[in-house]
């Protein structure tokens, strides 16, 4: 309808957006969400845990939220170790920044044999358990402008929802906590909520943290047979939480690569397509590596820049361009050689 009658509706939409922003008020009608339960596993067995609650919201609400984000995104500064819902970040960058650090330590260490101790943390129902007051306090601590803060406060307050299952609606329930999944601005608000997770860790623990939305990886590089501080780190994160109420994967085994190729060949045969319709897995990995290197090189603040091989300029032979682009890269094992850094040498 918006597309069909856009000339008539555009002034109305403009007035709604401008009034909402200027009055720091989120329209009440946009706070009513219809919940579509999407199964996480097949078949779902636990009604409380096996469904993802996706909020179906008005299209105009998403337009309004997108406008607010464009106006205020510079104030919402998220740490570089968050790879979800962030520009130029993805599961790919999360894997690179984590695994390449591990490979460099275990396969390429010049200070003795090293190991990696890691802990993987997943916050249960993270989006639904966001405390509104804590989130607003964190936004205030980030010094975002007051009108935007008041608008978010209005966005969070007075929300209601109904479950829509095959056309049958449940009774209306209020939402005293959480941010709606399916909203444009909710992922950014959740990133803000979880941004200070590692601030609870004392520096002397020397534990590194990477995040992808509510999935958190903590690791520490230690000498083989040495103890790490991970248990203390997990305790600190737990206490903090209680107080607050790819294609670039390195060391792909040959058997797994061959199995993927067989699955691809069978799929093409079933679809009646030629075998060379899709390029081999190795070619696709190289293309993915090239694209990711470009993204990293074009972003000075990208967290994966530290894992790229360093460029060394040899000034004694300016006639040979290739010799002026020597790469400082050392691989201690075949696995490390075929990791992201090893393949990135071709594109740096």
User: Does residue 289 share a domain with residue 157?
Assistant: no
User: Does residue 170 share a domain with residue 78?
Assistant: yes
Phi-psi region of 88 (alpha: psi -120 to 50; beta: other; left: phi over 0): left
What pLDDT is recorded for position 183?
92
Distance CA 178, CA 158 (A): 12
Q: pTM for the complete prediction?
A: 0.68
Residue 327, pLDDT above cutoff 70: no
User: Does residue 188 share a domain with residue 125?
Assistant: yes
pLDDT band at 50 (very low <50, low <70, confident <90, very high): confident
Kindly report, residue by residue over 251-275, the tens digit of the pLDDT: 455 655 676 777 777 777 777 777 7
The residue segments making up the domain with residue 231 are 5-246
Kindly report, residue by residue over 147-203, the tens digit of the pLDDT: 999 999 999 999 999 999 888 999 999 999 899 988 999 999 999 998 988 887 888
Name which residue leads in pLDDT, 238 or 81: 81
What pLDDT is recorded for position 249?
38
* Residues sharing a CB contact under 8 Å with residue 321, sequence separation 6 or more, in sequence order: none
Computed over its alpha carbons, how large is the radius of gyration of the chain?
24
User: Does residue 276 share a domain with residue 135?
Assistant: no
- Distance, first Cα to last Cα, the chain: 48
User: Does residue 287 share a domain with residue 146?
Assistant: no
262, part of any domain: yes
Provide mean pLDDT across the span 58-75: 92
Name which residue leads in pLDDT, 236 or 307: 236
């Amino acid at each position: 309808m918006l597309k069909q009658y856009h000339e008539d509706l555009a002034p109305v939409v403009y007035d709604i957006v401008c009034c909402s922003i200027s009055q720091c008020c989120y329209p009440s009608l946009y706070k009513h969400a219809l919940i579509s339960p999407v199964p996480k596993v097949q078949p779902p067995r636990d009604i409380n845990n096996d469904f993802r609650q996706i909020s179906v919201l008005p299209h105009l609400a998403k337009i309004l939220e997108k406008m607010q984000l464009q106006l205020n995104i510079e104030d919402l500064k998220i740490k570089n170790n968050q790879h979800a819902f962030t520009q130029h970040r993805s599961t790919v960058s999360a894997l690179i920044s984590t695994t390449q650090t591990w490979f460099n330590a275990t396969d390429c260490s010049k200070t003795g044999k090293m190991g990696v101790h890691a802990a993987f943390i997943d916050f249960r129902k993270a989006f639904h358990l966001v405390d509104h007051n804590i989130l607003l306090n964190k936004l205030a601590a980030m010094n975002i402008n007051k009108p935007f803060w008041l608008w978010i406060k209005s966005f969070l307050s007075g929300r209601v929802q109904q479950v829509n299952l095959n056309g049958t609606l449940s009774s209306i329930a209020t939402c005293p906590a959480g941010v709606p999944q399916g909203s444009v601005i909710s992922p950014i608000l959740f990133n803000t909520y979880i941004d200070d997770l590692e601030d609870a860790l004392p520096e002397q623990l020397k534990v590194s943290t990477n995040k992808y939305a509510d999935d958190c990886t903590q690791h520490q590089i230690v000498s083989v047979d040495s103890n790490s501080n991970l248990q203390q780190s997990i305790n600190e994160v737990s206490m903090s939480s209680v107080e607050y109420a790819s294609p670039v994967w390195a060391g792909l085994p040959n058997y797994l690569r061959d199995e993927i190729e067989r699955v691809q060949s069978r799929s093409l045969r079933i679809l009646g397509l030629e075998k060379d319709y899709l390029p081999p897995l190795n070619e696709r990995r190289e293309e993915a590596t090239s694209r990711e290197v470009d993204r990293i090189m074009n972003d000075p603040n990208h967290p994966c820049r530290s894992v790229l091989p360093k460029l060394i300029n040899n000034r004694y032979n300016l006639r040979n361009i290739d010799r002026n682009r020597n790469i400082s890269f050392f691989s201690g094992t075949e696995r490390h050689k075929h990791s992201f850094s090893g393949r990135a040498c071709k594109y740096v």
